[in-house]
Structure 1
């Protein structure tokens, strides 16, 4: 009944919005019906709640929540490295988040940025460097604790998965672009390690990545990432859109994207979780998604007060950069 009421509200809102924008009931009807037919025909059914819950709340029987070391715990160890995975395990994480990128010769490696500049002693776009070149870089070169970790190689995705399985850590695969490559690389890993589907989540800000993943592996737990005002936000005091009209158009797109995430895209992709910036999460927000069978996971939760709030009030999982201290 909730789903039916949800859908009715969503399509009614869309109809009214289009009517106001076009002043044509016929156009509004056509667009609303077209969207309804499209979603009905091409949507993926969500995974069974017990299957998704087993991955997203593996400690639920003990009253715990999923504590995810962001990029392996970037404050405690060089991010997206095997050392970070080991350190996360030692420091009490129940999961790690790993960022996928692809080299010029198509090898899946761990790297958050489009370039290697920020985290290594090298320079250049990841997708322009061959794996042999990236393998020579020191992934600990820019880290605050580089003296402790000495030289750390940029690991392949497979090496990172094997390390996580060794430490029994749940994995959040963070996928940026390249949905075809990402789906293929992950499909290979899920075939090689059948148990991986019971201890991993594929997440992305890009709905097309999640949709492609559901096409390739319909039994894998997936999550959409969402940050309000992501397109129009000002970073470090600098307007990223170049002009006033650019800022306005980006703000409009942000509103539409927010609506789509909460009323259309999650249903189309059949996601099991939504990853949301901590500033947008409240108890009401968690309950909103719980009624739809979707888990909320917050990011990035770095203080002891915030962690206590997530564990004991919201009772949901969260990403953190630091497991042992505030940062």
Structure 2
């Protein structure tokens, strides 16, 4: 991953690259200065460090030491049907500090918990969310495809509000993972924070899409936010296999990956004013944690699913991690 240093280095690199492309000192200076001014004017500051610390390092849960938090991925999708109230309850019972929950919308605009854009993988239904009303989604069995479906039979797809109420009751930190719909998500979350002010100190909004985070900060600048990132995500699948068979398309997407990675590490985090950076576990090291610490940004690793890995993050790196299971080793989800 590209780690080129501080702001001076960043704009120096931009200046050189633009100069090589335009061969004009005037245009290069104008474009570089314009970019600097644009970022300076429109970027959001980070929320106060003490508030971010309340969210990222609460002293609660069996794993909540005040230093490291164990966050149940999709509510702990290995231990119970993902993104359900049952998963939230199991995560609390198993000692999680908090839960990561995926926000999507039904066809009629109801905010719900769901990772995919279709219901096929996790329920006994089929089809995209964009064609399913909430009343129809509510009829589905959210445990139908889970390995413990008999134990959690007839579990329903919850609304965002139902999930938040359960998390508040159980005193769990919430990582809201917004999948898409930045305007709708920002509006729904803003209303949720207004109704439950305690969420400002017990939740964080994160997304792979920088537009989502920027829109959230526009809507409510007091919300703690994070960018989520997996290097080489455009050109490779989560397990490392190439995403495309065409050499030309693979090469082009690899180039875009380099640009995207650079942007995340040098522009987007600063522009959005995030307090944390959620990164796929394979790219985390002590140097990487130190890199972000110098910028006042916390690193959270995902998805950490073995005892050895958890000990590494908890004891050595002392950073938060997101896991599919609080009780046993399991295969990773991407």
TM range, smaller chain: over 0.9
Pairwise CA distance, 1:63: 4.6
1:108-147 alignment runs, 5 A limit = 108-147=111-150
1:251-266 alignment runs, 5 A limit = 251-266=254-269
Given the alignment, which residue of 202, 225, 229 partners 2:205? 202
Whether contact under 8 Å (2:57, 2:66) holds in the other structure is no
Q: Residues 24-67 of structure 1: CA distance to partner in whole angstroms, max 9, x if unpaired?
A: 33332222111101101101111111111111111299454110
- Mean alpha-carbon deviation: is it higher for 160-169 or for 10-19? 10-19
Pairwise CA distance, 1:237: 8.0
Pairwise CA distance, 1:19: 2.2
Given the alignment, which residue of 74, 77, 81 partners 2:84? 81
Whether contact under 8 Å (2:313, 2:321) holds in the other structure is yes
- Mean alpha-carbon deviation: is it higher for 260-269 or for 52-61? 52-61
- Mean alpha-carbon deviation: is it higher for 63-72 or for 149-158? 63-72
TM-score by length of 2: 0.93
What secondary structure does 1:9 align onto? helix
Look up the match of 2:99: 96
Look up the match of 1:13: 13
What secondary structure does 1:10 align onto? helix
1:271-282 alignment runs, 5 A limit = 271-282=274-285
Query: Quick one: distance in 1 between partners of 2:49 and 2:24?
Result: 41
- Whether 2:34 is the aligned partner of 1:31: answer no
Pairwise CA distance, 1:235: 6.0
1:115-194 alignment runs, 5 A limit = 115-194=118-197
Whether contact under 8 Å (2:86, 2:152) holds in the other structure is yes
Change (3 A) 1:208 1:6: same
Query: Quick one: distance in 2 between partners of 1:238 and 1:250?
Result: 13
Given the alignment, which residue of 244, 248, 258 partners 1:245? 248
Query: Quick one: distance in 2 between partners of 1:262 and 1:77?
Result: 35
Query: Quick one: distance in 1 between partners of 2:237 and 2:67?
Result: 36
Look up the match of 1:43: 43
Look up the match of 2:313: 310
Pairwise CA distance, 1:22: 3.4
Query: Quick one: distance in 2 between partners of 1:17 and 1:324?
Result: 50
What secondary structure does 2:121 align onto? coil
Pairwise CA distance, 1:123: 0.2
Whether contact under 8 Å (2:43, 2:273) holds in the other structure is yes
Given the alignment, which residue of 270, 273, 279 partners 2:273? 270
Pairwise CA distance, 1:248: 1.4
- Whether 2:220 is the aligned partner of 1:217: answer yes
Query: Quick one: distance in 1 between partners of 2:151 and 2:96?
Result: 20
Q: Residues 87-144 of structure 1: CA distance to partner in whole angstroms, max 9, x if unpaired?
A: 0000010010000110110000000001000000000001210001100000000000
- For structure 2, the 5+ residue unaligned runs are none
Query: Quick one: distance in 2 between partners of 1:63 and 1:109?
Result: 30
Query: Quick one: distance in 1 between partners of 2:240 and 2:288?
Result: 29
In the comparison of the two structures, how many residue pairs are matched? 323
**Cα RMSD after superposing both structures:** 1.6
Pairwise CA distance, 1:10: 0.6
1:48-87 alignment runs, 5 A limit = 48-59=48-59, 62-87=65-90
Query: Quick one: distance in 1 between partners of 2:38 and 2:159?
Result: 38
TM-score by length of 1: 0.95
- Mean alpha-carbon deviation: is it higher for 57-66 or for 139-148? 57-66
What secondary structure does 2:225 align onto? strand
Pairwise CA distance, 1:253: 1.0
Change (3 A) 1:263 1:54: same
Pairwise CA distance, 1:150: 1.3
What secondary structure does 1:147 align onto? coil
Query: Quick one: distance in 2 between partners of 1:280 and 1:84?
Result: 28
